[in-house]
């Protein structure tokens, strides 16, 4: 029976989560990235490998304090029996649900997306999960649009995550600098330009007016753009 008591934060979007799901629960669970495959044997195999690797790292730290493994060894907690049990409990719940869902994991953080609030409640009730948050997608604008107050541009294009060579970054930087009167570079992208890192991030974006400008950017670095959205005035 649906409890519907979670404090869902409304997220105004142009589509549902993954174009399918209305609700999501985010949480922290140590080693949850072991659940990239929902299979109990796979989880145990990954755990065994991680334990073995960390034991090797700890031994190298003991024999060489300046070892590059030192920082890595300190970052990882011990994998306890409780952690393993919590992972299998979550996996078992998801393997046995009849509800449609999507699990997304990264390091020690996970998200479950679904249209079934009762599944959100069941995941929330698991004892091993902490730092839980609840979101609900609300469609508040047409697809492939973004609302801004007093917009000055018509389009926003987001980058892909790509590692550039130093030469490619220099060419891209020069191009953007020469176009500064016609485009708006996102703060994160501007910060990246001023740093020595060469990998772009998927939250970098550029605002502009003429769609043909995107063609010119494609000549400078093909395949850089992940998606383009139309900018519309906020109501």
pLDDT confidence band for 211 (50 / 70 / 90):
confident
Q: pLDDT tens digits, residue range 5-45?
A: 678 999 999 999 999 999 999 999 999 999 999 999 999 99
Q: Note the pTM of the prediction, 2 decimals.
A: 0.77
Q: pLDDT tens digits, residue range 106-128?
A: 989 999 999 999 999 999 999 99
Helices vs strands, H then E, count in the chain = 7, 10
Q: Which residues contact 121 (CB under 8 A, 6 or more apart)?
A: 2, 3, 5, 6
Question: How many degrees, rounded to 5, is the angle at CA 22 between CA 18 and CA 24?
Answer: 80
Residues of the chain with pLDDT > 70, as a percent, come to 91
Q: Is the dihedral of CA 3, 14, 132, 119 positive or negative?
A: positive
Task: Name the burial class of residue 213, with classes exposed (0-12), middle (13-18) and buried (19+) by CB atoms within 10 angstroms of its CB.
Answer: middle
Would you list the domain boundaries of the chain?
Answer: 9-139, 145-233
Average predicted confidence (pLDDT) for the chain:
90
CA distance 73 to 92: 30
CATH topology of domain 145-233: Alpha-Beta Plaits (3.30.70)
Which strand ranges, in their side-by-side order, compose the sheet holding 130-139?
A: 9-13, 130-139, 23-28, 109-114, 101-106
Q: How many CB atoms lie within 10 A of CB 36?
A: 14
Q: Is the dihedral of CA 25, 26, 31, 36 positive or negative?
A: positive
CA distance 101 to 80: 28
Residues of the chain with pLDDT > 90, as a percent, come to 78
Identify which of 220, 213, 208, 151 has the alpha carbon closest to the alpha carbon of residue 184: 208
Identify which of 228, 227, 193 has the alpha carbon closest to the alpha carbon of residue 209: 228
């Amino acid at each position: 029976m649906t409890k519907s008591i979670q404090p869902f934060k409304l997220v105004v979007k142009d589509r549902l989560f993954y174009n399918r799901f209305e609700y999501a629960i985010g949480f922290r669970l140590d080693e949850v990235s072991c659940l990239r495959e929902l299979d109990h044997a796979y989880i145990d195999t990954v755990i065994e490998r991680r334990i073995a690797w960390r034991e090797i790292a700890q031994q190298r730290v003991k024999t060489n304090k300046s070892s590059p493994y030192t920082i890595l060894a300190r970052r990882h907690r011990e994998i306890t029996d409780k952690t393993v049990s919590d992972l299998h409990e979550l996996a078992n719940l998801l393997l046995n649900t009849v509800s449609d869902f999507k699990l997304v994991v990264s390091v020690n953080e996970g998200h479950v997306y679904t249209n079934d609030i009762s599944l959100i409640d069941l995941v929330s009730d698991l004892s091993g999960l902490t730092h839980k948050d609840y979101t609900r997608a609300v469609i508040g604008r047409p697809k492939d649009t973004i609302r801004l107050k007093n917009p000055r541009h018509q389009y926003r294009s987001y980058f892909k995550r790509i590692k550039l060579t130093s030469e490619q970054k220099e060419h891209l930087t020069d191009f953007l600098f020469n176009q500064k009167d016609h485009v708006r570079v996102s703060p994160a992208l501007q910060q990246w330009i001023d740093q020595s890192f060469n990998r772009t991030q998927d939250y970098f974006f550029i605002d502009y007016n003429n769609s043909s400008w995107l063609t010119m950017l494609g000549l400078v670095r093909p395949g850089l753009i992940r998606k383009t959205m139309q900018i519309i005035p906020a109501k």
